[in-house]
Amino acid sequence: MSMLQLKYDIPGDDFTRAGEASGDVKQKLKKLGYNPAAIRRVAIAMYEGEINVVIHGGGGEAVVDVDPDKVSILLIDHGPGIADVEKAMQEGWSTAPDNVRSLGFGAGMGLPNMKKYSDEMEIDSVVGKGTKLKLVVYAQSSKA
């Protein structure tokens, strides 16, 4: 059992609400007196995950477990899945549609940023079924 579990529904195709879940997690971690550098890494990694669920997953959910030493974020969608995870991890590789790009997304930096800002990352994706993404951020980490 984690110290605190937070659950969020992430609506699909609604960019105006993307960031609400990660924003809420950020506020709660601040109130808990979490390490500011870790809070920033959680916020960015989770927002990138949320955006992916909105753009590619058609919506989904987020479950965040907060412990004194780490924050674990699980993002689940039932979208098309990632056909080539290795490619998706490359900076600049993106399948985002044009309307998303015009909003400033689709730079192909989502998964690379999640990797950059998290201490552990696991992708479990099945084409046609969906994607489960787990991110862990340690409260104390050598990552900036």
Number of residues engaging another protein in binding (CB under 8 A)? 24
Alpha helices in 32-130 (DSSP H): 36-55, 85-88, 98-101, 110-117
Q: Which is nearer to another protein, 104 or 128 (CB)?
A: 104
Surface-to-core class of residue 79, CB atoms within 10 Å of its CB (0-12 exposed, 13-18 middle, 19+ buried)? buried
Q: Does 8 bind another protein (CB under 8 A)?
A: no
In one-letter notation, the amino acid at residue 137 is V
Q: Does 112 bind another protein (CB under 8 A)?
A: yes
**Which tokens sit at 63?**
């479950």
> Which string of x and - marks every residue 21-40 that binds another protein (by CB under 8 A)?
-xx--x---------x---x
Q: Which is nearer to another protein, 54 or 136 (CB)?
A: 54
The C-alpha angle 79, 109, 137, rounded to 5 degrees, equals 85
| Residues in touch with another protein (CB under 8 A) | 15-16, 18-19, 22-23, 26, 36, 40, 43-44, 47-48, 51, 103-105, 107-110, 112-113, 116
